[in-house]
Homo-oligomer: A and B are copies of this chain.
Amino acid sequence: MIYVASPDLTGNEKAYVNECMDSTWISSSGHFITDFERRFADACGVKHAIATNNGTTALHLALAVMGIGPGDEVIVPVLTYIATANAVRYCGAEPVFVDVESDTMNMDPAQVRLAITERTKAIIPVDLYGHPSDINAINAIADEHGIAVLADSAEAHGAEVDGRRVGSLAFATAFSFFGNKILTTGEGGAVTTDDDDFAARLRLLRGQGMDPTRRYWFPEVGFNYRMTNIAAAIGVAQLERFDDILDRRDQIAKQYDSLLAELPGVTLPAQRAGMRRVNWLYTVTLDGVSAEQRDTIIRALDGEGIETRPVFHPLHHLPPYAHTTSYPEAERLGATGISLPTHLGLTEADITTVADSLAAQLV
């Protein structure tokens, strides 16, 4: 089987996890947590990183600390993993959807401008499949209206805009470190921010809101969204090889590019000027196919031992967010997009196999 994703644990991951086991610090106390937070913040070029138990809780924690609640609206791209919108619902607020750019698949700033109302409290751009959002445009709109930006960079560790990494570009940024991500901790997440007060409140509410100076005294309702020392130990080992991991993923993408460029009807991943795309899942669109045809191709590849993923269903098609507005770009991308295996365990031969199999499906 050629998996669509697979963690690479060939560095110090195992050694560090064994340090946790030997020290018996396996819960959410231990030096790897603070090490991971420090190293990840440094890698992003941001002041604070607050580790959480996954990317969904990172999003929720950030919105909760922003004070998002019932009656509020939060602008979300209609093409994203459902967690982005669910985090808004957890707060009792409503996600307001906007269509995406046809090339990057990310939130279209022009649509964001149109979606702002008096109730808009935040905007969540999502860096889909590794391509950064047009954060400068989105920050500008947010500033005009006094709205906060929470970036969702779950899929884009290391991506850059104007030479600065995601995690440092919005007021706050949420990350996921699930087993299929560029950097993994098994399950895990983080929120980054330059704001000291915001960071302090993220830390407080992550740990049930307990007053750090008074045992079992809880000034407010918090959460148990803590990352474990074991997860953080894995993350530290991953961060030691961060640049190398990004480079190897770039090489995989380059090989796909050269194998697929000549195929008729295949649109390769976008790469905007001034931005560094990272290659989480190498994702192409199959121009002119229907969702059914794309799904048939996915099943055929699966039959040949090649695991792939469809691009996400636009959220307005899913029951919890169903409504009849049309979002043409998201609908097209959601129907025709396919993510190909992208991980460090792939050989050049594997990538050729994937490309050949896809090509055979398209004739």
User: Which residues of chain B have C-beta atoms less than 8 A from A255's C-beta?
Assistant: none
A180: which B residues are within 8 A, CB to CB? 27
State in angstroms the CA–CA spacing of A228 and B184 once bound together: 12
CB-defined contacts of A209 to chain B, threshold 8 Å: 82
Report B-chain residues with C-beta under 8 Å of the C-beta of A39. Answer: none
Q: Which positions 171-223 of chain A face chain B at CB distance < 8 Å?
A: 178-180, 184, 186-187, 208-209, 215-223
Interface: A13 (CB within 8 A): yes
CA distance in complex: A224, B225 (Å): 11
Of B21, B27, B187, which is within 8 A of A226 by CB?
A: B187
Per the bound structure, the CA–CA distance linking A310 and B229 in Å amounts to 26
Is A9 an interface position by the 8 A CB rule?
yes
Whether B56 and A53, one on each chain, are in contact in the complex, defined by CB atoms closer than 8 angstroms, is: no
User: A14 at the A/B interface (Cβ < 8 Å)?
Assistant: yes
* Given A82-B208, A187-B226, A224-B55, A218 and B26 contact (CB-CB distance below 8 Å): no
Report chain B residues within 8 Å CB of A24: 6-7, 9
Q: Is A26 a contact of B224 with CB atoms below 8 Å?
A: no
Question: Which residues of chain B have C-beta atoms less than 8 A from A242's C-beta?
Answer: none
Can you name the residue of chain B whose Cβ is closest to the Cβ of A85?
B221
| A26 and B57 contact, Cβ closer than 8 Å, known pairs A216-B310, A226-B187, A309-B215 | no
A9-B26, A54-B53 given as contacts; is B14 within 8 A of A320 (CB)? no
Can you report 12 A-B residue pairs in the complex whose CB atoms are below 8 A from each other? A14-B18, A14-B21, A26-B179, A27-B178, A53-B53, A82-B209, A82-B216, A186-B228, A215-B309, A215-B310, A218-B318, A220-B320
